Each structure stands twice: as C-alpha cells, then as structure tokens.
Amino acid sequence: MTDKLSLNKTFNLLENAMNVSKQRHSLLVNNVANLDTPGFKAKDLDFKSAMARAFNGSPRMELARTD
C-alpha cells in the first residue's frame, strides 16, 4: 500500500512541475507575441521559487513584471 501512496505523490509532484513549466512557457510566448506592442510590459515568474512551491504542494504562483 505504501508503494501506491508514494507513486501517487510522485505523479502529483510531476504534475505540479509540468504546470509551472507550462505557465512559464505561456508567459514567454505572450511576451514574444507582444514584443512590438507599444507600452507592453513583459511578465515572468521566478521559475526556481515556483518550482520549489510546486514541490512543496503550493499551487499559487506569482508573476513579476520585468523591463
């Protein structure tokens, strides 16, 4: 029974990590798509801390504005 719980925890961890990666990818794609838009402010997230939160089970991710 312990193996099933460990496997489930691993899958949840991988799912959280993939969601962080997907969110950052979406932000970067949006930044590139709006590169020539006047007044557009690029957005990014701190990938390292977002992954740390994903590994700790916290789904909340905050965005940071960049120049």
Q: What residues pair up with 65 in beta bridges, in sequence order?
A: 43
Report the chain's mean pLDDT, rounded to a whole number. Answer: 81
Q: Of 3-7, 9-13, 19-23, 58-62, which has the strongest mean pLDDT?
A: 19-23
Confidence of residue 16 (pLDDT cuts 50, 70, 90): confident
Q: How far apart (Å, rounded) are the C-alpha atoms in residues 32 and 11?
A: 31
Q: The whole model's pTM is what?
A: 0.65
Terminal Cα-to-Cα distance of the chain (whole angstroms)? 51
Residue 30 clears pLDDT 70, i.e. is over it: yes
Show the 3-state SS of the chain: CHHHHHHHHHHHHHHHHHHHHHHHHHHHHHHHHCCCCCCCCCEEECHHHHHHHHHCCCCCCCEEECC
